[in-house]
């Protein structure tokens, strides 16, 4: 009597590994769905962002995201841009108390008084800087790209780093509000200062 050889099933991929999306490409798990996340993951997240206004926008949106889903912010982003004058620093710096009341009444954005107040404060601080100074400051905290190996699972992606802690500390020292190490690291991830696409992700 003969028996069939016993074959073991392929080991399951570690939790938090890259997953195939609708097109079969492997992506970071959060980028597989819904479509808003997939488009953002594939075309924006992790790509270098430069420019004072562009980085100011990301800083503001990451602060507004605190305690909320990024999907909420992503779906409100165009409304945020309209409400905040496309995040043009000099324009936001000129916002008055009436503008703050307008923002608090705008259902298209996140109506959080502390976050709105921080965004206006931060614009007023940055408006006093030299052109390009915010860009140079943020990018001066970009770590050596080869200092950390590519994460294989989401568990290997940190929530903050020494660089993000130092960046948050410097921004606060200069007068910025509502920016901590976690918010600063989210900015670094989104704007390409670090590459936290998983090792098997097609966008890596």
pLDDT tens, residue by residue, 42-90? 999 999 999 999 999 999 999 999 999 999 999 999 999 999 999 999 9
Inter-residue contact 197 to 28 (CB < 8 Å): yes
Residue 78's Cα: distance from chain center in Å? 16
Rounded Cα distance, 139 and 163, in Å: 11
| pTM, entire model | 0.91
Asked if the model's pLDDT at residue 193 lies above 80, the reply is yes
Q: Which residue numbers are catalytic?
A: 40, 62, 70
Inter-residue contact 164 to 21 (CB < 8 Å): no
pLDDT tens, residue by residue, 91-128? 999 999 999 999 999 999 999 999 999 999 999 999 99
Asked if the model's pLDDT at residue 10 lies above 70, the reply is no
According to the model, what pLDDT value does residue 12 have?
A: 55
Asked if the model's pLDDT at residue 154 lies above 70, the reply is yes
Rounded Cα distance, 38 and 18, in Å: 13
Rounded Cα distance, 1 and 200, in Å: 45
According to the model, what pLDDT value does residue 3 have?
A: 36
């Amino acid at each position: 009597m003969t028996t069939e050889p016993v074959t073991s099933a392929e080991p399951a991929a570690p939790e938090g590994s890259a997953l195939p999306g609708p097109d079969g490409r492997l992506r970071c798990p959060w980028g597989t769905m819904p479509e808003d996340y997939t488009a953002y993951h594939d075309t924006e997240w992790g790509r270098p962002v430069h420019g004072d206004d562009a980085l100011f926008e990301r800083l503001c949106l990451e602060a507004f995201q605190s305690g909320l889903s990024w999907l909420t912010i992503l779906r409100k982003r165009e409304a945020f841009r309209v409400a905040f004058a496309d995040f043009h620093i000099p324009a936001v710096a000129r916002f008055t108390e009436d503008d703050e009341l307008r923002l608090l009444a705008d259902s298209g954005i996140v109506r959080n008084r502390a976050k709105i107040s921080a965004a206006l404060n931060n614009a007023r601080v940055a408006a006093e800087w030299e052109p390009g100074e915010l860009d140079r400051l943020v990018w001066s905290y970009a770590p050596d790209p080869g200092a950390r190996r590519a994460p294989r699972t989401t568990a290997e992606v940190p929530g903050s780093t020494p660089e993000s802690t130092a960046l948050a500390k410097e921004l606060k020292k200069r007068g910025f509000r509502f920016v901590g190490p976690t918010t600063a690291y989210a900015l670094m991830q989104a704007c390409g200062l670090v590459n936290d696409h998983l090792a098997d992700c097609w966008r890596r």
